[in-house]
Amino acid sequence: MQKSYDYIIVGAGSSGSVIANRISADPKNEVLLLEAGRVDNHPYITIPKGISKLIKHPTYTWTFPIIQKRRPDLPSKEIWIRGKGLGGSSSINGMIYSRGHAQDYEEWNTLGGPGWGWEEMKRVYCEMEQHELGSNGHRGGHGPLSISSGKFRYPLAERMIKAGEEFGLEAKEDLNHPSLEGIGYYNHTIKNGRRMSAAKVFLHPVMNRPNLTVITGIHANKVVFKDRTAAGIECSKGEKEIVFTCKKEIILSAGALLSPKILQLSGIGPKELLDSLEIGIVQESPDVGKRMREHLGFSMPHKLKKTRGLNHRFRGLGLVRSLLQYYFSRKGPLATGPFEIGAFVRSMPGANRPDTQLYLGAFSYARSRSSDNFPVQLSHTDSAPGITIYGQLLNLTSEGEVRIQSKDPREAPAISPNWLKTAYDKEAMVEMVRTMRRFVKQEAISEYFGEELIPGDQCQTDSEILDAVLRLSTSGLHATGTCRMGRDPKSVVDNQLQVRGVRGLRVADCSIMPALISGNTNGPAMAVGWRASDLILKTA
């Protein structure tokens, strides 16, 4: 007979790892954490630049082909990825730690309900962070999560910051200042040259707690209900089906693509979808899987002039040198994320906060002009020196959808991003590309930027830029909103993260975010896990 647990958490990613840590701190709470992937013991996970070897590794990465065409005449080549294993996407991501703008959280508070405004979330971040710059009014210095900044510096990086100042941006020591706008070295979840994933920080130190059980290689299929109360989770491990029962709560932390899938398979979702698949309705919830919003990125690699840059450090003898430097000192180009320099700027006239995030690095990857829309092209750098400016539009208004395609839990959901469906999004993407082009013409760096390889100087008009964006842009891997928190009855969860219409079931991950974050979502996902833990423990 299976043991019954007080709490069952589905997904050991950025949110789930935090929740498992915090609610199992009370020895009276029997906690079960379920993860479909493996233990995160591959050395590529520890080495920051190991991301280039992980992003297409089937053991550690979920891949979701996007069937929806961006335009009728374009083939379906888009792929979204997510981390699979302890730590989830925090084990394979670019390690940028960005909290977004204070106004983002005020929107959460307005749309989602009280308890999610900036003052409350600032408290969460300060409790969570151990920033190397120390604590101040908006930054934490004594929490478990190590944050570093600017560990790999080189002359061209300093020139990029100078170019930002020429562009009208403030050079900031900490890019996570609440006002956000500015340029500087990115904050990273890296300590002493090693990736600090959510599993490394929150799970591994507590794995020996007798009241915490972690099972890997197990797939959660659906929630089992008894009298509209979540009573257990039906799972598959190989060919074996298992049901784990729960005495208090089940928390879905499977992410913005898989949490709505589990809800839909469990009978919680849009009536027309569940009826079409003959799934019994437990609770009609029309927005499960809907209202998805994402960041859209566009990369503009250039030839690099007057200096070698970093491409040679990732190839041949240069790579050997980088490996030896990392092995003996945990320093050098392998000890940091893909991009060191970041900027948050306003591209659209009248924007009330930054709407564009820039990433800059003295490298370029090998990519043909007809390449697929794979989101992280880091597997092969160019043989010739290169330099890249990559931009993400932060406040797209188009909304996508995640839908199950059958009753089979092994089948991937259908994902429809609905990119650039609004006039605003089209205009904003064009303005973002033009902003990137203006940036590289600043005096401090213009002499280093050679030929624009993508999309190329021949691409100038609005229609030509939009055509290039549709063909070559990539997902930011920051999907939100598919189980959105809200005050309205159509929202999936309330401000306590409890699923509407049933008992004993919460969702806590990026899917609950009612508005996009102005930046990367790994930090906010951990903050959601921290805040969810507060709410769970308060009602324990």
Contacts of residue 410, defined as CB under 8 A and 6 or more positions apart, other chains included, come to: 219, 236
Is 478 part of the annotated catalytic residue set? yes
Nearest to residue 363, comparing CAs of 453, 442, 438, 443? 453
Q: How far is CA 311 from CA 9, 317, 320, 382, 384, in A?
A: 42, 12, 13, 6, 7
**Total number of residues shown for the chain:** 540
Question: Quick one: which H or E segment has residue 155?
Answer: helix 155-166
Question: By the 8 A CB rule, do 341 and 361 touch?
Answer: yes
Q: Report the alpha-carbon distance of residue 243 to residue 222 in Å, rounded.
A: 10
Residue 476 Cα to chain centre, angstroms: 8
CB atoms under 10 Å from CB of 501, counted, come to 14
End-to-end CA distance of the chain: 25
Give the span between the Cα atoms of 31 and 23, in whole angstroms: 8
- Beta strands at 386-393 and 296-304: parallel, antiparallel or unpaired: antiparallel
Q: 373 with 77: CB under 8 angstroms?
A: yes
3-state DSSP: the chain helix, strand, coil percent, rounded to 5? Answer: 30, 25, 45
Whole-angstrom CA distances from 418 to 14, 129, 516 are 26, 35, 16
- Please pick, among 101, 177, 295, 478, the residue that the annotation labels catalytic: 478
Bridge-partner residues for 283, per DSSP? 268
126-135 long-range CB contacts below 8 Å, 24 or more apart? 127/530, 128/18, 128/526, 128/527, 128/530, 131/174, 131/187, 133/173, 133/174
Residue 186: helix, strand or coil by DSSP? coil
48 CB-near residues (< 8 Å, 6+ apart)? 95, 188, 190, 193, 194, 195, 334, 335, 336, 337
- The residues, any chain, with a CB within 8 Å of residue 254's CB and separated by 6 or more, are 10, 11, 13, 16, 220, 261, 262, 509
Rounded to whole angstroms, how far apart are CA atoms 471 and 74?
7
119 three-state secondary structure: helix
Catalytic residues: 478
